Amino acid sequence: MKTKKDTRFVLVTRKTRLQELVERFNTWPQARFYLEHNQVDAQDYLEEHDTYREQIQKAEARLKNLGRLQNIERAFLPNYRFNDGDIVVVIGQDGLVANTLKYLNSHPVIAINPDPKRYDGKLLPFQLENLDAVAMRTLNKDVNIKTITFAEASTNDGQQLLAVNDLFIGPKTHTSARYSLKWAGKQEIQSSSGIIVSTGFGSTGWFQSILAGAMGVSGKTQHELSPGFPWDTARLQFAVREPFPSKTSGANIVFGAITEKHSLSIESRMPENGVIFSDGIETDYIAFNAGSIATIEISKTRGHLVS
């Protein structure tokens, strides 16, 4: 059993909307003037900020009583080195949980909803008053763990990117993506608005908007994947956005499952501005221009969310 001395809790937080506005406008009064000038309730920003900061302070106090504590802000996650045995506590919205998971290596994640009146928190099963008990149970390995399948993109020039929710493969700007696609023994040159690859974890997010659009066009009201699919399923689902059939491009391979037997291979035909980004964060991308071949497959890395 671990002791307080050799246990480290890593508390992951993010900036509030108020903090981001202050960075933009230098001071809160200036930011508040901007909001009120645009008929936006500045008080809502202030209340959200105060509640979140108060919850962070309380979480810090509780965790310090249980072991060593390290704080990290979301922006520093890509360069932060987690130690084996760290217990990660995320306090924030669902997106912060997803963003944190892909930088870990089998570390258990305790997700805390800091403001249940404001956030539904589908990925935030705990509130602050649960933290002590859940942290101790996690320390003693007496908790249920939900395993989350990740997507992984790797290119022929050595780039690699994980996704907890989804991957986007396509143009950086609103232009056409051009590429050659290989899947399940089939191959096709395509022109489209890009490709979305969803995990089970993300299958109720962006992926659902693609399904909704397709069902609207076809006149259907339901699809077998409308409820999404389990987080731990050894499967990813790809969908081509707005495929354009022409003399040089097809629209036959537009939807399918990526499994351990069938990966997805995409060769870029875009001279510039081709990207692959993950989880809706456009700044978290790898270049995908002409000559680059990306393989999309189920990652060997898994996420572990305490439930």
pLDDT tens digit sequence for 141-197: 999 999 999 999 999 999 999 999 999 999 998 889 999 999 999 999 999 999 999
Give dist(CA 36, CA 65) in Å, integer: 42
Mean pLDDT computed over 19-24: 96
Six token digits for residue 224: 């077998």
Is 1.10.3470 the CATH classification of the domain at 4-143?
no
Mean pLDDT computed over 4-9: 79
Q: State which H helix or E strand residue 60 sits in.
A: helix 42-64
The answer on pLDDT for 129 being more than 90 is: yes
Mean pLDDT computed over 194-213: 93
Q: How many helices (H) and strands (E) would you count in the chain?
A: 6, 16
Is 3.40.50.300 the CATH classification of the domain at 150-300?
no
Mean pLDDT computed over 59-70: 95
The answer on pLDDT for 3 being more than 80 is: no
Mean pLDDT computed over 233-249: 95
Six token digits for residue 57: 């302070």
Residue 153's nearest CA partner among 303, 296, 301 is 296
Rounded mean pLDDT of the chain? 93
Q: How confident is the model at residue 2 (pLDDT cuts 50, 70, 90)?
A: low
Mean pLDDT computed over 202-224: 90
pLDDT at res. 235:
97
Q: How confident is the model at residue 121 (pLDDT cuts 50, 70, 90)?
A: confident
Mean pLDDT computed over 210-230: 90
Residues above pLDDT 70, as percent of the chain: 98
Residue 238's nearest CA partner among 206, 267, 212, 216 is 206
Domain boundaries, the chain: 4-143, 150-300
